[in-house]
Structure 1
Amino acid sequence: MDQYLFDKNLDCPVCANNFTTKKPRLRKIPVDKKDTDFHIWYKEINPVYYNVWVCSNCGFSATESEFKKLSKEEKTIILKNISLKWNKRDFSGVRTIEMALESHKLALIIGQMLNKSKGYLGSLCLRIAWLYREADNADQENIYLKSALEHLENAYTNEAFPVAGLDEVSLSYLIGELKRLNGDPQNAIFWFSRALDHPDIKYKRMIQLKAREQWQLARDAYKKKKGDTLDG
């Protein structure tokens, strides 16, 4: 495991507890395959397991970008709503998929409490959905895919780019694919077309090719759905 993970030393912005967390060496982890919604299957370990940093002392949990200085009011929210109910446990070692799910759900709850951006909440929901996919739990996967779609579509309209680390072309494609996976081919077509019509698509060849493929799948699904409705 040491060739894929290293220890990072941290100070909690809520309680000042010093602790360590595992951080992946992303370039060294071999990739198996990629899904159409940006989920990556890895051959050895899944770096998403370590996406959220968790303070073992107070329970504060967030991704690296949000694990930073908090206002007095934000600290109070965490201490009252999380820390008082927190059963101290250690997330500093190698994580199981159950630990990965728990840490992401903690970060999602805290993100909602602190009114974090819809892009941030959407990215957490998407990663939770991916984890459930790997656990072969389709029901929970679909619940979180729908939540991710709701947050990311809101972020597209109301937040500045990049959103969840994505530019406008990539997010348009992702929203289209989440619409398609959610059984909404008509609106998937709209979002794939938005990505393909964007002037920056020429700089993103892989997204361009994938958007064309998924646009065709969505179009075929829409025609079938429309035909089934007429036949019924």
Structure 2
Amino acid sequence: ENFLHPSQTIVPEELSEHLAPSWEAWMEEKTVEIPLHEIPETIDSRKTLLTESRRRRGETELMTLESALANHLLARQVYDRLGASPLRRARLAHRIAWLHRIADNKEDESKLLGEALDFYKTAFHFEDLTHSKPSELEILFLLGELSFRIDRENDAVAIFEHLVRDPRVEERESFKKMIHRRWYEARNEPLP
């Protein structure tokens, strides 16, 4: 469905400067160009790609990194054309970044992590995250994690600090430990 409506998510005042989505992401016009790997532009090559993908699902054969990347980039084109929600686009950009990490392509990984961060920020501001997967808390954690990974330490520290103080985190012990660990790492402090 098209992304058209703002949500009721309330951004804490102390995080507003760290979580403000970029104008381009908010307008859904920002797309990172990846020159390394091009999607086949012809209808026949796209059909071949989809046929290979369907065939592999039925077998125990694993998809190659190249075909996984091509499938995800094709899905990205579809999401762009359909006007998918920022949360869906963020999750897809995040997955493509993982594929670039596996391929040891740091430059494209960093670009896509930045794109995912922008779309997660937009989703946090404008989508109703009440029943979403990932949850609002998990998206906040992802915002901190991605900020830390692309060297925005101040944003990461502020987000993790907010999460450490959030009473909803107390109910989830393993999540709480993960937040504390990343908070210490973002502040360059040793773990207690």
Q: So what's the TM-score if we normalise by structure 1?
A: 0.56
Q: How many residues align?
A: 139
Deviations 1:184-227 (A, max 9, x none): 11110111122222221012222211111111121128xxxxxx
In structure 2, the partner of 1:207 is 175
Deviations 1:142-200 (A, max 9, x none): 11111110100110111111587211111111110100111011110111122222221
Greater percentage in helix: 2
In structure 2, the partner of 1:106 is 74
Q: CA deviation at 1:141?
A: 1.0
Tell me whether 1:86 sits opposite 2:43 in the alignment: yes
Greater percentage in strand: 1
Deviations 1:32-91 (A, max 9, x none): xxxxxxxxxxxxxxxxxxxxxxxxxxxxxxxxxxxxxxxxxxxxxxxxxx9x94122022
State how far apart, in whole Å, the 1-side matches of 2:99 and 2:164 are.
29
Report which structure shows greater RCO (CA 8 Å, sep ≥6): 2
In structure 1, the partner of 2:105 is 137
Q: Identity percentage over the alignment?
A: 27
Q: Structure 1: state its 5+ residue gaps.
A: 1-81, 222-232
The two structures, once aligned, show a CA RMSD in angstroms of: 2.0
Indicate the structure (1 or 2) with the bigger Cα radius of gyration. 1
Alignment of 1:14-163 (within 5 A): 85-87=42-44, 88-89=47-48, 90=51, 91-92=53-54, 93=56, 94=61, 95-161=63-129
In structure 2, the partner of 1:166 is 134
State how far apart, in whole Å, the 2-side matches of 1:213 and 1:141 are.
23
Equivalent position amino acid for 2:43 in 1 = W
Asked whether the equivalents of residues 122 and 164 of structure 1 are also in contact (C-alpha less than 8 Å), the reply is no
In structure 1, the partner of 2:15 is none
Which deviates more from structure 2 when the two are superposed, residues 158-167 or residues 113-122?
A: 158-167
Deviations 1:86-111 (A, max 9, x none): 12202221421111111111111111
